Amino acid sequence: MNRDIATVGRTKEILEKYGFSFKKSLGQNFLIDPNVLRKIVSFAELKPGSGAVEIGPGIGALTENLARACERVVAFEIDQRLLPILEDTLGDYDNVTILHQDVLKADVRSVMTAYFEEDQDVMVVANLPYYVTTPILMKLLNDQIPVRGFVVMMQKEVADRLAAEPGSKEYGSLSIAVQYYTKPEKVMIVPKSVFMPQPNVDSAVVRLTKRDKPPVEVADEDFFFTITKTAFAQRRKTLLNNLTSGLENGKEKKEGILAILDSIHIDPGRRGETLSIQEFANLANALYPIFAEK
């Protein structure tokens, strides 16, 4: 078995061998602590027959730990310069497939059909590039890919938003979207000192367990998410102001919006961050008929 990739010495050795320089634009920060990586993998609770999807494998530090823990790993890497490095560092593992694709443009469901069995237990396990954490997460959640859940590292500030409760300053449309599809828990704080190069902020690992069904029933999912985004468009504005200024023809339908808010007992002077996911569902369901008509 090779020496762990995620040590300072081995990482430097690999980078020097290939003359690799970090691209800030790709948010490249490589983990250099094998213990942190082993913990991340343990949170995924992978079995020998499980599969793992990774995004941004870098030089393969997390990938090799996943390869040791499960049956098959499929990783998406956008940076062409890393492909020969990964071929070298992961050469001993025949259960790893590296795809040179941008996960935001990829058909992840088709990839999963190609590489995993139909009912195989699969987890997304990744150290996500900070600058695209939210778009990647939202794409994978919206695409409803067939996984048990996600164990993902991200900026601590973003992790706080995923698990935020109503009334907190972190709570927003992202909290609601993530909590609609999954049960989020922050499982670990990761100091910036275990990365090369060091980022400016601490990170956190979040485990998102897919729900069997959403916690609320909505008439139309797209409209539900439109309402939550609109309610948080300008956090200092009241719910009524955000809805009338943010929804199509909202100003003309102001009286209708007011009547609906009254009928479901939501004060129009409240702010978006005070509404629970159930209240947002009630609001979206009540507004849907008047905004669905074109």
Which amino acid would we find at residue 168?
S
Cα distances (angstroms) measured from residue 45 to each of 171, 210, 212, 245, 266: 28, 14, 18, 46, 42
Residue whose C-alpha is closest to residue 65's, from 84, 42, 47, 83? 42
Which residues are registered as beta bridge partners of 55?
Answer: 76
- Residue 240's contacts (CB-CB under 8 Å, 6 or more residues apart) are 254, 257, 258, 261, 268, 269
- Residue 22's contacts (CB-CB under 8 Å, 6 or more residues apart) are 28, 29, 197
Strand positions, DSSP E, the chain: 30-31, 51-55, 72-76, 96-99, 122-127, 149-155, 182-190, 195-196, 203-210
Vertex 161, ends 144 and 135: CA angle to 5°? 45
Vertex 257, ends 252 and 261: CA angle to 5°? 165
Determine whether the annotation assigns residue 91 to a binding site.
no
Determine whether the annotation assigns residue 56 to a binding site.
yes
Determine whether the annotation assigns residue 29 to a binding site.
yes
Determine whether the annotation assigns residue 221 to a binding site.
no
> Is there a cis peptide before residue 48, judged by omega within 30 degrees of 0?
no
Cite the annotated binding site for S-adenosyl-L-methionine by residue number.
29, 31, 56, 77, 102, 127
Cite the annotated binding site by residue number.
29, 31, 56, 77, 102, 127
